[in-house]
Structure 1
């Protein structure tokens, strides 16, 4: 039976599909015995005791429905005499879930005491401690006992409790808070949300960094994932000279420069208003930049270490790094190396990145992901755009390689001269009827399919923006569930991506006060910043104070004219992989 919404199917398929089929049957079936059924005790509340103490006792019941119904009945008819019973139950109930329900009930009755919370924080069950921490966070500012107890929980053996402990510390001030956060950070380095909780609760980033260094964080695996955003935070919180001094002290000799030191330096460069201006001339930072230059090209170096080294080179001077970055933009290098080198090259001042990237042979040799990165780099800064327009006018860059979103960026640019040139370049472009392309390519659905080759096509053309069964990047919609869609629908969405845009996946253009133009999906918002997610999963955070304008393009981030980058057999194999056949 058809279970798809009409909007997701091609028009031709809609005409021959009965969307009412199976409507009288539903999609979930229940087998019913012919023997008489006993009455369901859950059909009403009549089977529950009237005595309040007995209702409280049911909070320990093994059946979650009975536990939660008992709690509901207690809260629907609240009585002050329930409070002592619930408080005692929160301390000595037989089960963890029952004690949690008692705590939550007391909170709903505005009767949760400091004594009861302290008992919950010391409970033997991690789930009770976790809930008690959440309930204590808002009250800790008025209770020294609660604050001290929360700080002591930084060494809790349960990671969820430590995570909740870090969040609670963001709501109060207390001596020893930085030490407690450092302990949680070290224990939770591999855990993304724990790192985020620690950073969000940190009032003194410089103090936290000092404590982490004392605890030898630079020797810990994955420390760069914490140190980079921490250094960025310090650079934005502190005066520039202070931030440079704090970070520079940890980079000074003696000692070997490792990946964590590189990540720390990238973070401070990202956070400083003037970027890395003056840093390469300082001895401590100069060591790191020199090490980055070596590691960026070193054979056998882990890919993650190479990419962070390349990123760091983007904060140096053109005469120091431009030559080496150009060499890394080579089809023999991994895709991640090429894209990192392109972005780093685009940040260099006084570089000639525009003319270099749009050289005909080089542009034509870019894979779709690398070309997308090159295009976004060229469009990000006004000084790079004339070289792109020159190449479009001269035929070195084919117009079809400029996707609709990028064309729109040029046509709506704040610089009138760029808008005028872009208008002339694209005025003769025949956008074409994508429906006709779709109809022309329907024949690929009758071709034989090679699922293994289709997986390789997916990795090359789709994995930088889509996930399927955990493989790929989370930028566009997850494709794991598309197997239920008809072949024609999949082909339509590949060839006509703007046919239907899933809510939340519309592309946005953001112009900064300095004239830079950024594009991407809105991945996150805070009161002070906006995070854009671009193809390949690359994220860029912009402070709201730096935004001049923001507007939706009403277009999908997915490029059109995918048929130009793959053969008909590639398309057939890709659909076979997506369908699992």
Structure 2
């Protein structure tokens, strides 16, 4: 319980204080936290306070360390608790300690290190934009526990060979890795050009490109993209006619022979990347468990016209960074120093505001348009049947 309250203290010092005083308070707050950690004899308290510091400094680089940090870091490095050693090393990286970066690289390269430690090391090195990381990424694609993180790291650590490396593995990669590859190659103009070539030569099937990625690629490349992909279909003007068409199809008789278990599988493929249902799925869009999803009119209106009435908290954000990335997601958090996006592949993508060159809010939802039209009739009926369930059902095999 005591550790919990210290964790809350650490978080409040960084998140709940007035943003106008942020710059003035930072040095004093860091010094206070470091002194508190020094004075504590509880590993739980120390760990909790450092977690609060890491959360508050998330996305930051080359922060001026408190005067007493170096001596404290040396002490923490001798701790028997690996989580304390790891947190201290991550903080030292944020404070610009090159020795801490080398330790993280050593952990990442160590095949005998626990997967969780290697994942944490990779995340910290990506966050700090370590230039030596580029040489490590290709080998990490062969490590199951690190593959997705390594693919996404290429979005931050730009290399000329990234498209060739990722696309050469595309055909044999699992679907999740293919999705991460598409998302990564859509973040930079040079990468995007290679992705378009891959669509043209069918290395990447056109149908693998989600609509929100297609819109991003159109923003980046314009005619160069649409000449290969084709125009991105926009919704028909008369939404009510399209809803009426589906209501004529989705009859009580059709639903009587539908299978909610198969519908769960359809949901997982078409909706589950962004939406929660019964506790499973993504968190980009709203949780559908408690929504009015059983009402056919409600379901059709939100499916047929997903951009018709997008709540403010779910509007698509397009962010261009000073290092040339283009990122698409939904705003999860924002303060005076950073924004946090939720994307299909990354539930928490932190971007420092001083790294943002341009930013706009799109009127379009990230939810694909015309999605119901692309479903076979049986899949459509099964999906509607699943959406009308009152409790989770077992997925069909």
- TM, length-normalised to structure 1: 0.52
1:35 aligns with none
Using the TM superposition, give the Cα deviation of residue 556 of structure 1 relative to its aligned residue in structure 2, in angstroms.
Answer: 0.8
Q: How does 1:281-360 map to 2 (within 5 A)?
A: 282=99, 284-294=100-110, 298=114, 301=115, 305=117, 307-312=119-124, 314=126, 316=130, 317-318=132-133, 320-328=135-143, 333=144, 338-350=147-159, 352-359=161-168
Aligned residues: 369
Corresponding residue of 1:535 = 344
Query: Unpaired runs of 5+ in structure 1?
Result: 1-158, 160-183
After superposition, where does 1:138-287 map in structure 2 within 5 Å? 186-188=3-5, 194-200=9-15, 203-209=28-34, 211-212=36-37, 215=40, 223=48, 225-230=51-56, 232=58, 235=61, 237-238=63-64, 245=70, 249=74, 252=77, 254-255=78-79, 258-266=82-90, 269=93, 271=94, 279=98, 282=99, 284-287=100-103
TM-score in terms of structure 2 length: 0.72
Match of 2:194 in 1: 387
**1:422 has 2:234 as partner:** no
Quote the Cα distance in structure 2 between the aligned partners of 1:565 and 1:266: 46
Alignment of 1:53-92 (within 5 A): none
Equivalent residue, structure 2, for 1:170: none
5+ residue gaps, structure 2, are 18-25, 391-397
Instruction: State whether residues 449 and 573 of structure 1, in contact with CA within 8 Å, keep that contact through their aligned partners in structure 2.
Output: yes
1:519 partner SS: strand
Retained in 1: the 8 A contact 2:163–2:195?
yes
Q: Relative to structure 1, is the Cα distance of residues 459 and 233 closer, same or farther in structure 2, using a 3 angstrom cutoff?
A: closer
Q: What secondary structure sits across from 1:498 in the alignment?
A: coil
Work out whether residues 227 and 263 of structure 1, in 8 Å CA contact, stay in contact via their aligned partners in 2. no
**Could you report, residue by residue, the CA deviation over 1:290-340 in whole angstroms, capped at 9, with x for unpaired residues?**
223437974xx5xx5554244245455246522332113xxxx47xx5432
1:343: Cα distance to partner? 1.7
User: How much has 1:393 moved relative to structure 2?
Assistant: 2.6
Deviation of the 1:267 alpha carbon:
5.5
Cα deviations across residues 118-139 of structure 1 (Å, max 9, x unaligned)?
xxxxxxxxxxxxxxxxxxxxxx
Q: 1:579 to 1:501 in 2, by over 3 A?
A: same
* Alpha-carbon distance in 2 for matches of 1:433, 1:371: 27
Give the structure 2 partner of residue 401 of structure 1. 208
**In 2, Cα distance between the equivalents of 1:197 and 1:460?**
39
Structure 1's 576 and 323: CA in aligned 2 closer, same or farther, altered over 3 A? same
The corresponding residue for 1:411 is 218
Asked if structure 2 preserves the Cα contact closer than 8 Å seen for 1:528 and 1:543, the reply is yes
Give the 3 Å change call, closer, same or farther, for CA 525–496 of structure 1 in structure 2. Answer: same
* Residue 296 of structure 2 is aligned to residue 487 of structure 1: yes
* C-alpha spacing 1:503/1:234, structure 2 compared with 1 (3 Å): closer
The answer as to whether partners of 2:170 and 2:178 remain within 8 angstroms in 1 is: no
* SS of 1:511 mapped into structure 2: strand
Q: Return closer, same or farther for 1:510/1:313 CA change in 2, 3 Å cut-off.
A: closer
- Structure 2 residue matching 1:350: 3-state secondary structure: coil
Corresponding residue SS for 1:555: coil
Q: Shift of the alpha carbon at 1:509?
A: 0.9
Map residues 17-56 of structure 1 onto 2, 5 A cutoff. Answer: none
In 2, the alpha carbon distance for the partners of 1:397 and 1:511 equals 25
RMSD, aligned CA: 4.3
- In structure 2, the CA distance between the partners of 1:489 and 1:456, relative to structure 1 (3 Å rule), is same
> Is the alpha carbon distance of 1:549 and 1:507 closer, same or farther for their aligned partners in structure 2, counting shifts above 3 Å?
same
User: What's 1:550 paired with?
Assistant: 359
The answer to whether the 8 Å contact 1:506/1:555 transfers is yes
Task: Give, in angstroms, the shift of residue 507 of structure 1.
Answer: 0.5
Alignment check: 8 A CA contact 1:266 1:311 kept: no
d(CA) in 2 for partners of 1:391 and 1:230?
40
C-alpha distance in structure 2 between counterparts of 1:538 and 1:570, whole Å? 28
Aligned pair in 2 of structure 1 residues 524, 469: CA closer, same or farther (>3 Å)? Answer: same
| Rg larger in structure | 1
Q: Contact 1:511/1:517 (CA < 8 Å) preserved in 2?
A: yes
Deviation string, structure 1 residues 217-243 (Cα, Å, up to 9, x no partner): 66679747435225548856416x979
Q: Indicate the structure whose relative CO is greater, using CA pairs within 8 Å and at least 6 residues apart.
A: 2
Q: Are the aligned partners of 1:529 and 1:542 in contact in 2 as well (CA < 8 Å)?
A: yes
Cα displacement string for residues 530-576 of structure 1 (whole angstroms, at most 9, x for unaligned residues): 33222256233334343322222211122346569976555444433
Q: Is the 8 A contact 2:200 2:228 kept in 1?
A: yes
Cα distance in 1 between the residues matched to 2:43 and 2:105: 17
